[in-house]
Structure 1
Amino acid sequence: MMSQITLTILETSDVHGNIFPVNYGTNEIQPLGLGKAAAIIKKFRSRNDHVLTIDNGDIIQGTPLTYHYVKYRSSEPNPMIEVLNHLQYDAAVIGNHEFNYGLPIMQGAAEQSSFPWLSANILDKSTGRPYFGTPYIIKEFGSGLKAAVLGVTTHYIPNWENPEHIPDLDFADAFETAKNWVNHIREKENPDVLIVSYHGGFENDPQSGKPTESHTSENQGYRMCTEIEGIDVLLTGHQHRQLAGTINNVLILQPGFNGEYVGKADITFENSQGRWHIVEKKSELLPAGYEEEDEEVLQLVKKYETSTQEWLDQPIGFIEGDMTIKDPLQARMVEHPLVEFINNVQMDALGVQISNTALFNNSAKGLPSTVTMRDIVSNYVYPNTLTAIEISGKDMKEALERSASYFLVGENGEVIVNPAFSVPKPQHYNYDMWEGIEYRINISNEIGKRIEGLQYNGKPVEMNEKYEVVMNNYRAGGGGEYPMFKNRPITKSSQIDMAEMLANYFLKHKTVKAAVNHNWKVVK
């Protein structure tokens, strides 16, 4: 028997439907996607018999490719699963975005997979057992090396997901579940290495240990490293960060998002008295952008890409005026026609007088004079549906104050984005702009006391009065730290996702006028 071996763990996470190296909004080539990551994976598989390849979640949703598949080709094999099967993945962990298209799509993906989907803490309500079957896998190699991989998922999913997409599921605490299963695996399986693949991130800075989240349990990776004995490697994701290192002698990885990196962990073992013992652990991030795309992978799903591109280029309507975005910060400080348009579509769809929405990211370019589906999906990037809820004036004021904390005044008096909305992960989607009410955000005031002149129909908003507001399902569930919306009475809802709703609005009205009514503004 050889005296020393190295196990290589390859991790992808938060690929979000990216196979081809392209930005679907512009069709420009980008250094990302599973096509490029595949070249790295195949290279290491050809060199080493001891390789584990794991996807850490959020893979089946996120691009027009996956959207088009779900809407128009869902009777065929899922293109993301075809690629993972081809690359001989050993396991995948269920991420929060796996449920965005509904449970049947997720279940279909799992049934088509030649590998198991892991999540020990997503439970069947009726039995209390892991809903997707196996919570962990054991892989034994010809050398006798025995590796265990446990999968867990952030239990915060009910705060974001449409309840109709997760009707039969319970989400147990990820930390407690991991702790229990790690103990079980150590005792029952006695592996040489125990890997936890967690679709979640870190609530504390990995280097300093300082808390970076104070009031949620969305991410628990730091606690897992410091409070659970028996974890050798913690694979993470969800936060879209690029991390490689060690916390409390636990090797950690987080390989960014969109397939820009492959996380690589090398675990070296020596054999002593017939047993493998870890003698060295190293982790690094491998940039996929430097690789040539793997042609086998691209050819495998080319038919899906071709039909997606044809669909994206279909003209569906026209803009009268200017609805393009030149400065995303300015578009959040002074009412922009794109934001007003989205709010108007939401109010029209559910027959509600008040609405809120966000400009999701800084790459949104707005809508040109001739609008295609490509323009719609590059500006409205999430498969959200709409929910109208009944809230109090107090809820409204608190929500507006939460949004108003997006801004800070810089050292030279300039307006800047509060780092809480950009570090460690950009969260521009958590700043909402409202229609149907009037208000000012005075950023000279301290956070929590910034909303002035709040009115509805020309009268001050009463704190104890009830108001009906339409918003996306993520926000209506309290997502983005809006607890004042959670568990409020639902008055209306729609199961048509917003990209389709915006497209339908153009198909009905043909031409949309770019306009604003100046019902809110940011002042200092």
Structure 2
Amino acid sequence: MAGSWGNSLGLIHFQLLNRDGKWEVFSSFPQLWYVDETIEAASEIVEAVKEQHEATIDYVMAPVGITTVPITGYFSRVIDNEVTQLVNEAQLWYARDYFKGTEFEGMPLLSAAAPFRTSTNVEAGDIRIMNAADIYIYSNTLHVVRVNGIELKGWLEKCAENFNQIDPSSTEDQNLLARFSSYNFDIIEGINYQIDVRNPVGQRIVELTYEGEEIEDDMEFLVVTNNYRAGGGGYHLVDADIVLSSTVENRSVIIDYIIEKGTITPSPSFNWSIVPFETAGRITFTSSDEAATLAEELGIKGIKYIGDRLFEVDLVELAENVPQTVSN
């Protein structure tokens, strides 16, 4: 496990000693080689994989459809977002067709997706295979679990750990986002809910509804997710009731969905939001400098770039992005 995405190479050096015809490890030490622009490619390896390398590039550059809007993930831990919206729409599209004519056809169907990369940035225009990998970077396979109302709320409460608890009366700067992996911040489509970041962990999900009605503990839902989450990854689910364990990759479902639609316009449904409230001090979060002008370009209210990767968020103004038709 030297590093992700080939950023380094791990080595273990052994000094061996031959005693009476038998090899023994005399000593050992590890070493980490970082891979950067100063490292030259080995010409013999480049030549050996040239044909496969070029074929791979041709494949990932192949267009599969068109998006009329940019698909970015820079603010995906703060406000509903095009990236998770696209993934959820694709997963629901697949599951609805799969369950036709089965015992599960009439059950409420939801979908969970996380912003795996908050730096996702797909420009409007052609969507290529490589863009699908940017939107969904892991080779997860599609799974569907059955949960009741209690389990669903527990799942969401785990996701709400994405946020720090905010004290409205504090005049100090407060960081909205906790030390929390973005791939564990599931957005569950098909329901409406709010997250009250004034509350402690485990008590943040409020106004949880399905089709306008409060979700009861004994209600049952099917949730489209992936093998990682269904298997207990992230501790959102324990001993999940898995009703579909597919070998189809979630990423392939997204590609097939885009091919089927041809042209897409992923638009956040704003089915989730942060409860708005006034604060005495600033509420901030960090993102990429590349998103400095993004809020203005996309017409997102309540997010302002301060500088050096830091953004200020006004939770009252942020709530103005949510259409009244979907507010709880």
TM-score by length of 2: 0.71
2:117 and 2:134 in contact (8 A); partners too: no
Alpha-carbon distance in 2 for matches of 1:276, 1:505: 57
Which among 127, 130, 145 is matched to residue 371 of structure 1? Answer: 127
For 2:136, the aligned partner's letter is Y
Q: Which residue of 1 aligns with 2:257?
A: 505
What do residues 310-367 of structure 1 show as CA deviations (whole Å, max 9, x unaligned)? 1222222112233234x2xx21221112211211111111116311111112332245
Matched ranges for 1:150-299 at <5 A: 237=1, 255-268=2-15, 281-289=28-36, 290-299=38-47
Q: Which residue of 2 aligns with 1:386?
A: 142
Residues 448, 288 of structure 1: alpha-carbon distance in 2 compared, 3 angstrom cutoff? same
Alpha-carbon distance in 1 for matches of 2:139, 2:192: 28
Which among 488, 499, 516 is matched to residue 241 of structure 2? Answer: 488
| Pairwise CA distance, 1:415 | 1.0
Q: Which residue of 1 aligns with 2:182?
A: 428
Alpha-carbon distance in 2 for matches of 1:469, 1:405: 20
Residues 275, 309 of structure 1: alpha-carbon distance in 2 compared, 3 angstrom cutoff? closer
1:343 and 1:356 in contact (8 A); partners too: yes
2:230 and 2:242 in contact (8 A); partners too: no
| Pairwise CA distance, 1:501 | 1.7
Residues 288, 514 of structure 1: alpha-carbon distance in 2 compared, 3 angstrom cutoff? closer
Residues 332, 269 of structure 1: alpha-carbon distance in 2 compared, 3 angstrom cutoff? same
- Identity between Structure 1 and Structure 2 (%): 27
Greater mean deviation of Cα atoms: 446-455 or 378-387: 378-387
2:76 and 2:118 in contact (8 A); partners too: no
Which among 308, 312, 316 is matched to residue 64 of structure 2? Answer: 316
1:385 and 1:473 in contact (8 A); partners too: yes
Q: Which residue of 1 aligns with 2:194?
A: 440
| Pairwise CA distance, 1:276 | 7.8
Which among 340, 357, 362 is matched to residue 113 of structure 2? Answer: 357
Q: Which residue of 2 aligns with 1:473?
A: 227
Q: Which residue of 1 aligns with 2:211?
A: 457
1:332 and 1:433 in contact (8 A); partners too: no
1:338 and 1:367 in contact (8 A); partners too: no
Q: Which has the higher contact order (CA 8 A, sep 6+)?
A: 2
For 2:92, the aligned partner's letter is M
Q: Which residue of 2 aligns with 1:333?
A: 78
2:149 and 2:217 in contact (8 A); partners too: yes
Alpha-carbon distance in 2 for matches of 1:315, 1:276: 55
Residues 266, 323 of structure 1: alpha-carbon distance in 2 compared, 3 angstrom cutoff? closer
What do residues 275-311 of structure 1 show as CA deviations (whole Å, max 9, x unaligned)? 8887754333122334211111122111111111112
Alpha-carbon distance in 2 for matches of 1:383, 1:265: 29
What do residues 121-151 of structure 1 show as CA deviations (whole Å, max 9, x unaligned)? xxxxxxxxxxxxxxxxxxxxxxxxxxxxxxx
Q: Which residue of 1 aligns with 2:175?
A: 414
What do residues 73-100 of structure 1 show as CA deviations (whole Å, max 9, x unaligned)? xxxxxxxxxxxxxxxxxxxxxxxxxxxx
Gaps spanning 5+ residues in structure 2: where? Answer: 97-107, 167-171, 278-328
The total of aligned residue pairs comes to 259
Alpha-carbon distance in 2 for matches of 1:359, 1:499: 13
What do residues 17-39 of structure 1 show as CA deviations (whole Å, max 9, x unaligned)? xxxxxxxxxxxxxxxxxxxxxxx
2:155 and 2:236 in contact (8 A); partners too: yes
RMSD (Å), alpha carbons: 2.6
**Over 6 Å off, 4+ runs:** 269-279
